[in-house]
Chain A
Amino acid sequence: MRDFLIQKLWHTVIVVFCVLSLVFVVLHLTGDPVMMLLPPNAGRDEIEALTRTLGLDQPVIVQYGRFLGRVARGDFGDSLQHQQPAMALVVERLPASMLLAVSALALALVVAVPLGIFAASRRGSALDHLAVALAALGQSAPIFWTGLMLMLVGAVILQLFPTSGYGTWRHLVLPALTLASYPMAAIARLVRSGMLEVLDADYVRTARAKGLPERQIVWKHTLRNAALPIVTVIGLQFGLLLGGAIVCEMIFSWPGVGRLMIFAIYNRDFPLVEAAVFVMAMIFILGNVLVDLCYAWLDPRVKLEA
Chain B
Amino acid sequence: MRRLRLPLILAALPVIAALVCAALAPLLAPHDPTRGDLSARLLPPAWAEAGRSRHLLGTDQLGRDILSRIIYGARVSLLVGVVSSLIGGTVGLALGMLGGYFRGRADSVIAKLIDIQLAFPFLLFAITVIAVLGPSLPNLLVILALSGWVTYARVVRGQTLSLRETDFIQAARGLGCPAWWILLRHVLPNVVSYALVIMTTEIGRLIVLESTLSFLGLGVPPPTPSWGLALADGKEYLIRGWWLATFPGLAIMMIVLCMNVLGDGARDLLEPRLRGRDRRG
A interface, CB within 8 angstroms of B: 11, 14-15, 18-19, 22-23, 26-27, 30-31, 36, 123-124, 128, 136-137, 139-145, 148-149, 151-152, 156, 163, 193, 196-197, 238-239, 242-243, 246-247, 250-251, 261-262, 265-266, 268, 270, 273, 277, 280-281, 284-285, 288
Q: How far is the CA of A136 from the CA of B280 in the complex (A)?
A: 14
Instruction: State how many angstroms separate the Cβ of A44 from the closest Cβ of chain B.
Output: 24
Q: Are A239 and B121 interface neighbours, CB within 8 A?
A: yes
Q: Cβ of A239: which chain B residues have Cβ within 8 Å of it? A: 121-123
Instruction: State how many angstroms separate the Cβ of B189 from the closest Cβ of chain A.
Output: 31
Q: Cβ of B127: which chain A residues have Cβ within 8 Å of it? A: 246, 261-262, 265, 277
Q: Contacting chain A: which of B31-39, B59-67, B237-245?
A: B237-245
Q: How far is the CA of A139 from the CA of B204 in the complex (A)?
A: 11
Q: Are B281 and A128 interface neighbours, CB within 8 A?
A: yes
Q: Taking A19-B120, A148-B245, A149-B246 as contacts, is the C-beta distance between A273 and B128 under 8 angstroms?
A: yes
Q: Are B212 and A247 interface neighbours, CB within 8 A?
A: yes
- Residue among B124, B204, B215, B238 making CB contact with A140, cutoff 8 Å: B204
Nearest residue, chain A, Cβ from B250: A145
In this assembly, does B91 line the interface, its C-beta being within 8 Å of a C-beta of chain A?
no
Q: A140-B257, A281-B124 are in contact. List 5 more A-B contacts (CB 8 A).
A: A15-B115, A152-B245, A193-B277, A277-B124, A284-B124
Q: Cβ of A14: which chain B residues have Cβ within 8 Å of it? A: 112, 116
B interface, CB within 8 angstroms of A: 112, 115-116, 119-125, 127-133, 204, 208, 211-212, 215-218, 228, 231, 234-235, 238-239, 242, 245-246, 249, 252-253, 256-257, 260-261, 277-278, 280-281
Interface of B is mostly: helix
- Residue among A27, A247, A262, A266 making CB contact with B132, cutoff 8 Å: A27
Q: Taking A18-B116, A123-B281, A142-B253 as contacts, is the C-beta distance between A148 and B216 under 8 angstroms?
A: no
Q: Cβ of B239: which chain A residues have Cβ within 8 Å of it? A: 156
Q: Are A277 and B128 interface neighbours, CB within 8 A?
A: yes
Q: Cβ of B261: which chain A residues have Cβ within 8 Å of it? A: 136
Count, A-B residue pairs, CB within 8 A: 135
Q: Are B215 and A243 interface neighbours, CB within 8 A?
A: no
Interface of A is mostly: helix
- Residue among B121, B212, B215 making CB contact with A242, cutoff 8 Å: B121
Instruction: State how many angstroms separate the Cβ of A289 from the closest Cβ of chain B.
Output: 10
Q: Cβ of A270: which chain B residues have Cβ within 8 Å of it? A: 131
Q: Cβ of A288: which chain B residues have Cβ within 8 Å of it? A: 119
Q: Taking A140-B257, A145-B245 as contacts, is the C-beta distance between A15 and B121 under 8 angstroms?
A: no
Q: Are A152 and B242 interface neighbours, CB within 8 A?
A: yes
Q: Taking A139-B260, A196-B281 as contacts, is the C-beta distance between A149 and B121 under 8 angstroms?
A: no
Instruction: State how many angstroms separate the Cβ of A248 from the closest Cβ of chain B.
Output: 11
Instruction: State how many angstroms separate the Cβ of B256 from the closest Cβ of chain A.
Output: 4
Q: How far is the CA of A61 from the CA of B259 in the complex (A)?
A: 46
Q: How far is the CA of A163 from the CA of B128 in the complex (A)?
A: 29
Q: How far is the CA of A179 from the CA of B257 in the complex (A)?
A: 19
Q: Are B128 and A26 interface neighbours, CB within 8 A?
A: yes
- Residue among B125, B212, B260 making CB contact with A144, cutoff 8 Å: B212
* Ranked 4 nearest A-B pairs via Cβ: A243-B123, A145-B249, A140-B257, A239-B121
Q: Cβ of B120: which chain A residues have Cβ within 8 Å of it? A: 15, 18-19, 22, 281, 284
Q: Cβ of A145: which chain B residues have Cβ within 8 Å of it? A: 231, 245, 249, 252-253
Q: Cβ of A142: which chain B residues have Cβ within 8 Å of it? A: 208, 211-212, 249, 252-253, 256
Q: Are A242 and B123 interface neighbours, CB within 8 A?
A: yes
Nearest residue, chain B, Cβ from A14: B116
Nearest residue, chain A, Cβ from B254: A140
Q: Cβ of B130: which chain A residues have Cβ within 8 Å of it? A: 265
Q: How far is the CA of A242 from the CA of B119 in the complex (A)?
A: 13
Q: How far is the CA of A97 from the CA of B257 in the complex (A)?
A: 29
Nearest residue, chain A, Cβ from B255: A140
Q: How far is the CA of A151 from the CA of B237 in the complex (A)?
A: 12
Q: Are A247 and B215 interface neighbours, CB within 8 A?
A: yes
Q: Taking A142-B208, A251-B235 as contacts, is the C-beta distance between A273 and B131 under 8 angstroms?
A: yes
Q: Are B280 and A193 interface neighbours, CB within 8 A?
A: yes
A selection of 15 A-B contacts at a CB cut-off of 8 Å is: A136-B257, A137-B253, A142-B212, A144-B215, A145-B245, A145-B249, A149-B245, A156-B238, A262-B127, A265-B218, A266-B217, A277-B128, A280-B124, A281-B124, A284-B120
